[in-house]
Amino acid sequence: MIVNITKVPMQIKNAIVVHESVFFDMDVIPRRMILQIGSWRREVEVELSSEITKNVIALSNQMHVPFDFPENIPYDVTMTNRVIHVGPVIGLIAFREEREMDLHAIQKFKDYVVNYVNLRGLFYICAADSISFSNQTVKGYVYQPDQKSDQPSFQLSTFPLPDVFINKVRLDEPVVEQLISSHGEKLVNSYVWNYRELEEWLSSYTSISSHLLSMNQLTTLEKLDEMLNMHETVVLKPIHLRSNCMEYKVKKLKNRYQWINQWKVYSYSKNEATVLISKLIPEEPFLIQPLISSINEEGNSYILRAFLQKNRSKHWRCSAIVSDFKGAEEFSLTGQEILRNAFHLNEREVFLKEQEIITLCHSVCQLIEKCYGTYADLCVTMKIDEDLNLWLLDIDPLYEHQMLSETIQDQQTYFNIVTAPLEYAKSLSGFL
């Protein structure tokens, strides 16, 4: 059943009015029920009326609620025993601090709601510090469907704690503890791992360890030399930050070290490299990994990204595999295109390699969910070397969907990926 919520004048404080047909199939018509909107609950008296519109739940204007009811929001309704559950109410934690949150910043999430006609309910975007656990409310921007406008409309207001939180930022531990306490398994992306702990944990599983690169933590120049004695080129990447601009390729040329980042090549003596490392370590710990061999003489690099998601089915599926090509030019290809054109595989070989990729990703995602919590949208970054070996580089639960608009050419595939997290959240809320 799809309804709208409104308020009507009533003498009774905690009461609702519904159309008499709502309970038509029930043997016993309950007189007192528990109204649930998001995580907020209130026992209410139920009045039946033939005059009220069938798709409306009317709340007494005397009822005190600590949040707003935006107009024109269609809700789904489920009734289990005495509980009338109105929703879904979904909160997206997109910012760490409320001061980062404004209408301009909110617009980058507008593609999440392109399928709102099938989602319905209350969807709002908030910051971690705009959640009030004491008041059981959240300050955020709610999506308001406007049939007269092509552009998504968001409005700032206060809302109940949701049925499901989707987290897209690194949260401080006290906040995570409060969210776990209030929402448990209905907090998506409760824990965000770093490169080091992910590698240490996955390496204990033999089916996955063969796809992991060896790594050491950068502590001294001697540690760097150890890896350079085994590999011609290594990669330094920050343990916590997922940022290409912070990564370096390092080679040892005679008595000097060549450091290469996104923009420039640097050359350091042993003493200079020692000083540089001593400055880097306090700011951000780095890992040392071998550089995977490029597949051709031009040194072109191919990064594969698989997007593993759950939608309303609650089962993992691979929504897309794309590849960033980095050579003289930069552009994106599908996984099949890169396997076919760059690795010169025939159709059967492309199919088998793609299935190997998907199987590996499924295994990793299932393990992560068993050990870390609730997840439904992971970007798995991989690389294939010149011998067609598959290497896991990263698994990111906080990746930004905005990058997909540049890497995925098919618009329908893009929208399917962007809208899947809200479909899953609706299902997790108890609405199919």
d(CA 72, CA 363) in angstroms, rounded, equals 43
d(CA 140, CA 379) in angstroms, rounded, equals 26
> Within 121-212, where are the H helices?
173-183, 195-202, 206-209
Task: Summarize pLDDT for 269-280 with one digit per residue, the tens.
Answer: 999 999 988 888
- Residue listed under structure tokens 């999440």: 112
Contacts of 79 (CB under 8 A, 6+ apart): 85
Task: Summarize pLDDT for 29-40 with one digit per residue, the tens.
Answer: 678 899 999 999
Q: Does the pLDDT value for residue 244 go beyond 60?
A: no
Nearest 5°: the CA angle 405, 143, 109 is: 20
For residue 181, what is the DSSP state? H
> Within 114-172, where are the H helices?
116-119
Sign of the torsion formed by the C-alpha atoms of 292, 296, 300 and 304:
negative
d(CA 187, CA 191) in angstroms, rounded, equals 10
In whole numbers, what is the pLDDT of the chain averaged over residues?
86
Q: Does the pLDDT value for residue 26 go beyond 70?
A: no
Task: Summarize pLDDT for 161-213 with one digit per residue, the tens.
Answer: 999 999 999 999 999 999 999 999 999 998 888 888 888 888 888 889 999 98
Residue 290 identity: P
What does the DSSP assignment read for 278-314? HHHHHH--EEEEEPPPPSSTT--EEEEEEEEEE-TT-
